Amino acid sequence: MEIFYPDLTAVREVIVAGWAGRDAADVQHHIDELAALGVAPPSDVPLFYRVGHETLSTAPVIDVLGGQTSGEVEPVLLRTQSDLLVGVGSDHTDRESEAYSVALSKQVCPKVSGRAFWRFADVADRWDEMVLRSFTAERTPYQEGLAASLLNPLDLVARWEQREGRVFGPGSLMFCGTVPTLNGIVRTESLTVELSDPRTGSVLSHHYAIRELPVVA
């Protein structure tokens, strides 16, 4: 399958789709995970959070403030001038600020994306079969689930366009939701995220380390 390496510096809008599961029970599971951390339930599902495009990062190391952050694997949808591409990334989030403002927690940390993408049209007919996985340090399994558990990226875009009253145009990038953790949200020194196609054996993968900066009063 053809791999693309788009110029992500051309991205001018970054959107994070929250509570994007297809199954209400799975969505509730994620809400309950975050409720255990003191996060209020969402006003609607899905929700779309806009973050600064400058937060998008493909770096092998990201800097975060303190030790209350964690990542989560997500499909990443990108509209270029000529195509609609899909890759894999991590919606790295500050869990401490998430307890009082999810929107703020999304803005505080870098939004991590791999550099490699597929053409969405090349996998659209089997999208539900795609597998999302993440691994913490020493490749310990952290998340695993089918893309079928999430709203289809095209559905998310259609909903976003309807709410915004404008198109998901070139330079727009969306994080398209995550799958539940296997054993709860944990802190880790690094995270590997993967999007795999079981039919072809193709895998998009990105690994990054997390460097915790001290909180200075």
Q: How many domains does the chain have?
A: 1
- Among left, alpha and beta (phi > 0; psi -120 to 50; other), residue 116 is beta
Structural domain containing residue 203: 8-213
* Domain presence at residue 107: yes
Question: Domain for residue 2, yes or no?
Answer: no
User: Does residue 192 contact residue 170 with C-beta atoms inside 8 Å?
Assistant: no
Q: How far is CA 164 from the centre of its chain?
A: 20
Predicted TM-score (pTM) of this structure: 0.93
d(CA 130, CA 187): 26
Dist. CA 53–CA 110, nearest whole Å:
10
Rounded Cα distance, 128 and 122, in Å: 13
Q: Is residue 44 part of a domain?
A: yes
**For residues 18 and 125, which has the higher predicted lDDT (pLDDT)?**
125
pLDDT per residue over 92-151, tens digit each? 999 888 777 888 888 899 999 999 999 999 999 999 999 999 999 989 999 999 999 999
Arithmetic mean of pLDDT, 32-56 = 86
User: What six digits make up the tokens of 85?
Assistant: 């591409």
Q: pLDDT for 167-216, tens place per residue? A: 999 999 999 999 989 998 888 999 999 999 999 999 999 999 999 999 88
Instruction: Say if 179 falls within a structural domain.
Output: yes
| CATH code for position 64 | 3.90.850.10
Is residue 3 in some structural domain? Answer: no
**Phi, psi torsion values for 77, nearest 5 degrees:** -105, 130
Give pLDDT tens digits for 44-55: 889 999 999 999
Rounded mean pLDDT, 81-96: 95
